């Protein structure tokens, strides 16, 4: 499973934000969903553990 299939919630806990901040910005810049549990945002619902439409 590559990074593109991982949940943003999980990536955020793995130092992804520090190392791949540019990619992270791409993932969240047009975000339509917010995670009810973690407060992360994403374009795609499946990238969050508890997605809710914004």
Q: Could you tell me the end-to-end alpha-carbon distance of the chain, in angstroms, rounded to an integer?
A: 27
Count, residues near Zn ion per rule CB under 5 A: 5
- Residue 22 beta carbon to Zn ion: minimum distance, rounded to whole angstroms: 22
Contact 33, 7 (CB under 8 A): no
Map the footprint of Zn ion across residues 1-54, applying CB under 5 A: 9, 35, 37-38, 49
Q: Between 28 and 49, whose beta carbon lies closer to Zn ion? A: 49
Length of the chain: 54
Binding site for Zn ion (CB under 5 A): 9, 35, 37-38, 49
């Amino acid at each position: 499973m590559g990074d593109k299939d991982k949940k943003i919630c999980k990536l955020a806990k793995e130092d992804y934000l520090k190392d791949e901040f540019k990619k992270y910005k791409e993932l969240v810049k047009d975000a339509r969903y917010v995670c009810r549990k973690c407060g992360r945002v994403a374009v795609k619902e499946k990238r969050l553990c508890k997605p809710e439409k914004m």
